């Protein structure tokens, strides 16, 4: 169930509210293009500026629209353990297949604090759970020894690894074993991560090029390494463009250029600079998206 390309989907807004029609259309687009799963309410979904009510609505909408056709991994993490338990409990009741929990941000917990945070959530809500390590966003790096301890906790089944450090990812895979699911959290590391035992990616780029990201995973698992290498280099500039500015500014801008969502973000995120917008357009035209 948790193998392949999982899109870290944007949350479209219209006049300050969630654009449910555009969101449904995005999910249908993803399913048609072969994406293996939807990840709502992650960083790319602007979870930091969603109210609890909006967060819960987005998860419910996702489950309803997907209707068991592919997997739903709901973002439910917070820097408050109690809040994470609440959001994870809602994801379970809404029918999500799993939860994705970012390391607590700003608090900067110790490794023991991280262990207790995740163990408490896993023991409180009986749903498959993925850890999410992205120190560039959170200010804390969950080390491989801590991940290995957590891999032995019931309900914790994998990790989204977004350190960009392949040595650390290798250590995680070596320590946790083949049954622990390691997913890339950075599009540029998908290919190398697959080759050392990863099971797929939670992708930003899949918002705009879902078929290629899904095919990269499919071709890898079918043993067609040269095709995977080709897709890796085909997507290289597009992957870079998705981070010309803070995610999700570029990807949401790209989707608006494709006519799929409005170019509306919530402060403190703002519109892309004209300079970077022109750079983005050049890459998208070269890729065939415009």
Each residue's pLDDT expressed in tens, for the chain with a length of 290 residues? 799 999 999 999 999 999 999 999 999 999 999 999 999 999 999 999 999 999 999 999 999 999 999 999 999 999 999 999 999 999 999 999 999 999 999 999 999 999 999 999 999 999 999 999 999 888 999 999 999 999 999 999 999 999 989 999 999 999 999 899 999 999 999 999 999 999 999 999 999 999 999 999 999 999 999 999 999 999 999 999 999 999 999 999 999 999 999 999 999 999 999 999 999 999 999 999 99
In a domain, 160, yes or no: yes
Segment holding 254, helix H or strand E: helix 249-257
pLDDT for res 110:
97
CATH number reported for the structural domain that contains residue 167 in this entry: 3.20.20.70
Tokens of 97: 């297949």
In a domain, 173, yes or no: yes
Alpha carbon separation from 121 to 83, 99, 115 (Å, rounded)? 10, 11, 10
pLDDT for res 122:
98
pTM value is 0.95
Query: In degrees rounded to 5, what are phi and psi of residue 106?
Result: 75, -45
In a domain, 279, yes or no: no
pLDDT for res 1:
77
Contact of 201 with 188, CB cutoff 8 Å: no
CA atoms of 134 and 136, how far apart (whole Å): 6
Contact of 207 with 213, CB cutoff 8 Å: no
Please provide the DSSP assignment of 225-245 as one string.
HHHHHHHHHHSHHHHHHTTSS
In a domain, 290, yes or no: no
Name the residue range of residue 191's domain. 4-224
In a domain, 246, yes or no: no
In a domain, 277, yes or no: no
* Nearest of 51, 44, 38, 128 to residue 83 by alpha carbon: 51
Query: In degrees rounded to 5, what are phi and psi of residue 100?
Result: -120, 125
In a domain, 149, yes or no: yes
Angle at 34 between CA 31 and CA 36, to 5 degrees: 80
Q: How many domains does the structure of the chain reveal?
A: 1
In a domain, 179, yes or no: yes
CA atoms of 222 and 224, how far apart (whole Å): 6
Catalytic residue numbers read: 132, 160
Q: In terms of DSSP bridges, do strands 17-18 and 13-14 run parallel, antiparallel, or are they unpaired?
A: antiparallel
Can you say whether the dihedral through the CA atoms of 93, 200, 34, 10 is positive or negative? Answer: positive
pLDDT for res 100:
98
**Secondary structure E strands in the chain:** 4-8, 13-14, 17-18, 37-39, 71-75, 98-102, 129-133, 156-161, 181-184, 200-203
Show the DSSP H helices in 67-176 as ranges.
Answer: 81-94, 111-124, 135-138, 144-151, 166-176
pLDDT for res 137:
87
């Amino acid at each position: 169930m948790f193998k392949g390309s999982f899109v870290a989907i944007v949350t479209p807004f219209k006049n300050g509210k969630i654009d449910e029609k555009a969101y449904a259309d995005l999910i249908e687009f993803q399913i048609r293009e072969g994406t293996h799963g939807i990840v709502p309410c992650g960083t790319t979904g602007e979870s930091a500026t969603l109210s609890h009510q909006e967060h819960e609505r987005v998860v419910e909408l996702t489950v309803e629209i997907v209707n068991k056709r592919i997997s739903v991994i709901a973002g439910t993490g917070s820097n408050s353990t109690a809040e994470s338990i609440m959001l994870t409990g809602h994801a379970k009741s809404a029918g999500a297949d799993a939860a994705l929990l970012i390391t607590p941000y700003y608090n900067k917990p110790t490794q023991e604090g991280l262990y207790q945070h995740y163990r408490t959530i896993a023991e409180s809500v009986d749903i498959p759970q993925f850890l999410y390590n992205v120190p560039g966003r959170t200010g804390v790096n969950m080390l491989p020894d801590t991940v290995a301890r957590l891999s032995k906790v019931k309900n914790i089944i994998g990790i989204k690894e977004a350190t960009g450090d392949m040595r650390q990812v290798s250590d995680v895979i070596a320590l946790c074993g083949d049954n622990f699911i390691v997913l890339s959290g950075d599009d540029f590391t998908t290919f190398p991560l697959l080759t050392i035992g990863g099971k797929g990616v939670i992708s930003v780029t899949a918002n705009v090029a879902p078929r290629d990201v899904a095919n990269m995973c499919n071709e890898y698992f079918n043993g067609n390494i040269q095709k995977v290498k080709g897709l890796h280099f085909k997507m290289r500039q597009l992957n870079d463009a998705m981070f010309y500015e803070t995610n999700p500014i570029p990807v949401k801008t790209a989707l608006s250029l494709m006519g799929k969502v409005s170019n509306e973000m919530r402060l403190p995120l703002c519109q892309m600079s004209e300079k970077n917008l022109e750079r983005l357009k050049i890459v998208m035209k070269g890729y065939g998206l415009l």
